Amino acid sequence: MKREILQPDGWPRPKGYANGIAATGRMVFTAGVVGWNEEEKFVAKDLAGQFRQALINTRAILAEGGAEPSDIVRMTCYVTDKKEYLASAKEIGAAWRDILGKVFPCMALVQVVALVEDEAKIEIETTAVTA
């Protein structure tokens, strides 16, 4: 995959994400991925635990499409509680590093009133581009 980070001159460098990425190759998309296990059960009740599981699930889906974490170019996270997300930043960062490594895609985080799965606290959509 050809990948170019887009960073306008004079803009401060973002922390933990990219402002833009230009990429060519095969595109792999995930649906909205929640933090349940392979039996569709929410083991973790907290946002950080569900985030970790959602990343594990995302990585598994991407692997089915021949993609790996370094191929991720875009990620959108929907959370039901922005304050819980911010309060869990340390645990969320650790989960990110453990599961995805040093990958910094274009990202958006959106607080929503609710998700379709009542127990879900986070849902993640991901786009990857492979060679």
CATH code of the domain covering residue 90: 3.30.1330.40
- Residue 1: the pLDDT is 73
- Bridge-based pairing of strands 122-130 and 26-29 is antiparallel
State the alpha helices, DSSP H only, in 27-124: 47-64, 82-87, 89-99
Query: The domain containing residue 46 runs over which residues?
Result: 2-130
Domain count, the chain: 1
- Residue 51: the pLDDT is 99
- Tens-level pLDDT at each residue, the chain (131 residues): 788 999 999 999 998 899 999 999 999 999 999 999 999 999 999 999 999 999 999 999 999 999 999 999 999 999 999 999 999 999 999 999 999 999 999 999 999 999 999 999 999 999 999 98
- Residue 53: the pLDDT is 99
